[in-house]
């Protein structure tokens, strides 16, 4: 027992190197302590396995890897999602976008419609699709991605949501090519957070280095994927169905105009920082 050390010592070591917040999250992850309850384990002796995990996570974080990948999971709305470099780290602005989708579905459910059919295009971790399945008990969600790697992560996350998982299906392919043809004209909601960064645009070094480029870049003006989705969405939506799209603030006006040109009624919505971030566009009722 003479040379055992308590978790408080490793927490201090990590805090000196990484700052308090990252240090706390890493020690919470290894010890399994609930957030805010770390004090309960700080006097416990560290096991050999614990030190090995701590050293490995500390080294990865010190090499610049995002905390979310080092931890291997990240919170999104009510979900605890597995994340790794095969997928984009889910962002707080996307939690707002998922909320807009959930609100649209709840409004549609109030009109008396029983089952709601949803497509989440470019699902990544499954963040939006799985939130919808969990928060809207009448939604059936078609989640797609062009990346088999991303779908593998979404599949792992699907297994973590319990019974709601029976209402989610995963499909590989490019945008609407992945959606079962029978759904054409009957989607109550299409939601997507597609790539929307212009090819020439600088990104923070940590994003550029660690996150998948295919999840971020979308042509010379960053609008290639948004343009494609807006163009094809009207054909796939049911009458009075809704399209919800995330994008960069400077893209919202032009995407709203595209939606309007395709016969949809658009509105622009802010993220938590108050920046224009999403377009919600409704198809006319029949
Ligand atoms: C910005 S990420 C969003 C991931 C997730 N929906 C989220 O909000 O965190 C864009 C996703 O679109 C996928 N993607 C890129 N091109 C695609 C395409 N042509 N068809 C379908 N998905 C695509 C990427 O693999 C990536 O998972």
pLDDT in tens, 89-99: 999 999 999 99
pLDDT of residue 166: 97
Kindly report the pTM of this predicted structure.
0.95
204 with 232: CB under 8 angstroms? Answer: no
The DSSP symbol for 145 reads: E
Which of 94, 124, 278 should be mutated for ligand 1, with most atoms under 8 A from CB? Answer: 124
* Domain boundaries 76-282, corresponding CATH code: 3.40.50.150
Return the residue whose CA atom lies nearest to atom 6 of ligand 1: 123
Q: Ligand 1 centroid vs 214 CA: distance in angstroms?
A: 7
Closest CA relative to residue 188, chosen from 259, 136, 227, 228: 136
**131: CB partners within 8 A, 6+ apart:** 76, 77, 78, 79, 95, 98, 102
140 with 180: CB under 8 angstroms? Answer: no
CA distance 122 to 165: 18
Return the residue whose CA atom lies nearest to atom 19 of ligand 1: 174
Helix, strand, coil shares of the chain as percentages rounded to 5? 45, 20, 35
CA distance 161 to 157: 7
For ligand 1, what atom is nearest to the CA of residue 89? 9
**198: CB partners within 8 A, 6+ apart:** 217, 218, 219, 220, 221, 222
pLDDT digits (tens, 9 = 90+) for 177-217: 999 999 999 999 999 999 999 999 999 999 999 999 999 99
Residue 6 burial (CB < 10 Å; 0-12/13-18/19+)?
Answer: middle
Domain spans, the chain: 7-63, 76-282
Closest CA relative to residue 201, chosen from 225, 222, 186, 229: 222
Closest CA relative to residue 242, chosen from 182, 188, 179: 188
Query: Picking from 33-37, 61-65, 154-158, which range would have the lowest pLDDT averaged per residue?
Result: 33-37
CA distance 225 to 217: 9
pLDDT of residue 4: 85
Q: Ligand 1 centroid vs 36 CA: distance in angstroms?
A: 33
* The pLDDT of residue 2 is above 70: no
Query: Picking from 34-38, 180-184, 224-228, which range would have the lowest pLDDT averaged per residue?
Result: 34-38
Which of 79, 86, 99, 122 should be mutated for ligand 1, with most atoms under 8 A from CB? Answer: 122
pLDDT of residue 148: 98
For ligand 1, what atom is nearest to the CA of residue 196? 1
Which of 119, 191, 195 should be mutated for ligand 1, with most atoms under 8 A from CB? Answer: 195
Residues framing ligand 1 (Cβ under 6 A): 88, 90, 94, 121-125, 127-128, 144-147, 150, 174-175, 193-195, 214-215
């Amino acid at each position: 027992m003479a040379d055992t050390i308590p978790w408080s010592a490793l927490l201090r070591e990590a805090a000196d190197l990484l700052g308090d917040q990252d240090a706390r999250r890493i020690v919470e992850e290894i010890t399994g302590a609930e957030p805010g309850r770390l004090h309960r384990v700080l006097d416990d002796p560290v096991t050999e396995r614990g030190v090995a995990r701590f050293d490995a996570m500390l080294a990865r974080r010190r090499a610049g890897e995002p905390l979310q990948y080092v931890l291997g999971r990240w919170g999104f709305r009510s979900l605890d999602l597995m994340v790794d470099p095969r997928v984009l780290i889910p962002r707080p602005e996307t939690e707002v976008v998922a909320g807009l989708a959930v609100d649209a579905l709840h409004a549609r459910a109030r009109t008396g419609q029983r089952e709601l059919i949803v497509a989440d295009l470019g699902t990544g971790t499954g963040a939006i699709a799985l939130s919808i399945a969990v928060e809207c008990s009448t939604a059936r969600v078609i989640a797609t991605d062009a990346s088999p790697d991303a779908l593998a992560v979404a599949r792992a996350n699907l297994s973590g949501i319990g019974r709601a998982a029976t209402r989610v299906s995963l499909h590989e392919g490019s945008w609407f090519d992945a959606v079962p043809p029978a759904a054409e004209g009957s989607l109550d909601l299409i939601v997507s957070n597609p790539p929307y960064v212009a090819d020439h645009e600088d990104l923070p070094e940590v994003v550029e280095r660690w996150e998948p480029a295919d999840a971020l870049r979308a042509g010379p003006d960053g609008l290639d994927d948004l343009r494609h989705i807006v163009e094809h969405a009207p054909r796939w939506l049911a009458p009075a169905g809704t399209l919800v799209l995330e994008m960069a603030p400077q893209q919202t006006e032009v995407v709203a105009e595209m939606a309007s040109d395709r016969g949809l009624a658009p509105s622009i919505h802010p993220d938590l920082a108050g920046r224009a971030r999403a377009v919600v566009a409704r198809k006319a009722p029949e």
